[in-house]
Amino acid sequence: MTERYVTHCVIGAGFQGLPIVKKLRELGEAVVCLDRNPDVGGIWHTGAYETAHIISSKYSTGFTDFPMPADYPDFPSKSEMQRYFRSYAETFDLLPAIRFETGVARVAPMEADADGALWRVETTGGDAYRCRTVTIAGGHHNDPNVAHYPGEWTGEAMTSNRYRSPRQFTGKRVLVVGAGNTACDAAVDASHHGVSADISVRHGVHFFPRTFAGRPLDTLLQAFPLGGEWMDRAVAWVVNTLAVGDPVRWGLPRPTHGILDSHPVINTELLRRIRLGEIGVRPEIARFDGGSVVFADGSRKSYDLIFWAIGYRITLPMLREADGLIDWRDDLPLLFLMMMSPKRRGLFIAGLGQARTGGGPLFQDAGYMSARMAAFDARDRDGVMSRLAAHHAIRFAQRWRGLRLVEKADTKSRSLREHRSALIGLGRLLDSIGAPDAPSRRGVSNARSDLATSSSLWTAAA
């Protein structure tokens, strides 16, 4: 076993971890990034199934400092996303800082040593790193939900994180449970490769097409000069009404929540396959009976495989409950400014936010903020949490605007404008306390450089 000191440790070399490593290196900070996969990309390297394509277009999914290549399709595949992340890591010279095939067994607090380390990160291989800060950037698609119903299921079951290829459906009668993007993709794949395919839908969802009027839908939502939640909802309502209409006509339940209140489901192929009779729609499961499923409407059908695609739970298995580092509410971690442990300095949790029109700009901006905070925490005697809590602007917001410094993580799907507004405000606070910053390198690629500005998205996607 070896043990070494490094100022910062980032866990995860995916969508969120890579920008954090990039900015820390631009700030001149010593950083190591640990990832259990053999290459960069996180879920897009290992977790995504081979038929997966991004649901938001390349114009809003790529990092603004490194737009996706111009010769990429509007909706890149898993393999194209893998190449994109690898190119990003190579362009910004991140690979020397990354230790692949290195899982993290534990992140433990320690008393400050001669190097100023406050944390000990133990790997699954038995090595350890002593660090001043640790940033957990593993995302929230690691621990899939499984519902429990009366009776016993004796057939095969699979959770969405174990889905790799439509060939896993070959020769099987498949029931997909859920109505999110992965569930819809899996039901379509099962209808092509399985003996039969049904989808069990408990709550109605709003469906959207990938493209509208010949352009990616996310570019439409971002291209209007008058931004705001009301505009996003108005545009989404028009698109949903014209392109999909009442889901009841497809045999699906009508949504009980408002449009854009949950993460959008970008899939109309499911609706087409339902209309062709290739996918059956079933209500919620009532109980199991051996190899059969009894549904809430009293109907019964036999299946070979149940595919669970009902979302994920956020878990932080590398943190021990006995250490008391994070409290939880409604299965979500309680965080200081929704970015760090309120219990002890130097522990940051990144990558839990969602943007409804593509994650790249959000993950880049949030990652840069996390890196600046970690760098300041390592350099400042009092630490970033203490300095921000005492800031006059924070105290004003607490008193007059009801700001709660410690709140559960916000995983609601929000517009990129809303996320960026909050991050701009945080950036100004970091500037005011003297948090380090440095110019961000932009990658040289064959991508259009004007894709980063929302006003150009409509033209760029044309």
Domain spans of the chain? 3-140+314-460, 144-209+244-310
Q: What confidence category does residue 5 fall into, taking pLDDT thresholds of 50, 70 and 90?
A: very high
Structure tokens given for 20: 């954090």
CA distance 297 to 454: 47
**Does residue 227 have a pLDDT over 80?**
no
pLDDT, tens digit (0-9, with 9 covering 90-100), for 315-328: 999 999 999 999 99
Query: What burial class does residue 67 get, using C-beta atoms within 10 Å of its C-beta: 0-12 exposed, 13-18 middle, 19+ buried?
Result: buried
CATH (residue range 144-209+244-310): 3.50.50.60
> What is residue 412's predicted lDDT score, i.e. its pLDDT?
80
Determine the pLDDT at residue 415.
Answer: 78
Q: Which of 150, 146, 151, 148 is nearest to 162 (CA)?
A: 146
Q: Which residues of 177-214 are buried (b: 16+ CB within 10 A; e: fewer)?
A: bbbbbbbbbbbbbbbebbebbbbbbeeebbbbbbbbee
Contact 85, 98 (CB under 8 A): no
Please determine whether the domains at 3-140+314-460 and 144-209+244-310 fall in the same fold group of CATH: yes
Give the pLDDT confidence score for residue 229 in this predicted structure: 79
Mean pLDDT of 128-143: 90
Closest-CA residue to 61 (of 35, 81, 91) = 81
Q: What would the mean pLDDT of 339-358 be, rounded to a whole number? A: 90
Domain made up of 3-140+314-460: CATH architecture = 3-Layer(bba) Sandwich (3.50)
Q: What's the pLDDT tens digit per position in 378-391?
A: 999 999 999 999 99
The yes-or-no verdict on residue 359 having pLDDT over 50 is: yes
Which tokens is 444 given? 């040289």
Residues 287-321: pLDDT tens digits?
Answer: 999 999 999 999 999 999 999 999 888 999 999 99
The whole-number average pLDDT for the span 36-55 is 90
What is the per-residue pLDDT for 413?
77
User: Within 10 Å of residue 120's Cβ, how many Cβ atoms?
Assistant: 18
- Residue 445: which pLDDT band, with cuts at 50, 70 and 90? low
Low-confidence winner among 164-173, 227-236, 384-393, 417-426 (lowest mean pLDDT): 227-236
Q: Which of 4-8, 68-72, 211-215, 423-427 has the lowest mean pLDDT?
A: 211-215
Confidence tier at 141 by pLDDT (50, 70, 90): confident
Confidence of residue 213 (pLDDT cuts 50, 70, 90): confident
pLDDT the model gives residue 220: 76
The sign of the CA dihedral 168, 171, 175, 176 is positive
Give the model's confidence band at 224: pLDDT under 50 very low, under 70 low, under 90 confident, else very high.
Answer: low
- Residues 284 and 282: their CA atoms lie apart, in Å, by 7
Point out the least confidently predicted range of 101-110, 263-272, 424-433, 446-455: 446-455
Rounded distance, CA 408 to CA 423, Å? 17
User: How far from the centroid of its chain's Cα atoms is residue 414's Cα?
Assistant: 12
List CB contacts of 381: < 8 A, sequence separation 6 or more. none
Computed on alpha carbons and rounded to an integer, the radius of gyration of the chain in Å comes to: 23
How many CA atoms does the CB half-sphere of 56 hold within 13 Å?
24
Please give the Cα distance from 68 to 447 (Å, whole number). 6
User: What's residue 1's pLDDT?
Assistant: 76
User: Facing residues of 302 across strands?
Assistant: 292
Average pLDDT over residues 454-458: 36
- Quote the pLDDT of residue 217: 86
pLDDT in tens, 231-249: 888 888 999 999 999 989 8
Output the average pLDDT for the chain.
91
Supply the DSSP symbol for 254: P
Contacts 24+ apart (CB under 8 A), 254-260: 254/204, 255/203, 255/204, 255/205, 255/206, 256/203, 256/204, 257/203, 258/233, 259/206, 259/233, 260/206, 260/229, 260/232, 260/233, 260/236, 260/356, 260/413
- Parallel, antiparallel, or unpaired for β 332-336 and 406-408? antiparallel
**pLDDT greater than 50 at residue 111:** yes
The CA distance from 123 to 6, in Å, is: 14
Residue 234 has a pLDDT of 87
Q: What is the pLDDT of residue 328?
A: 95
pLDDT at 283 over 90: yes
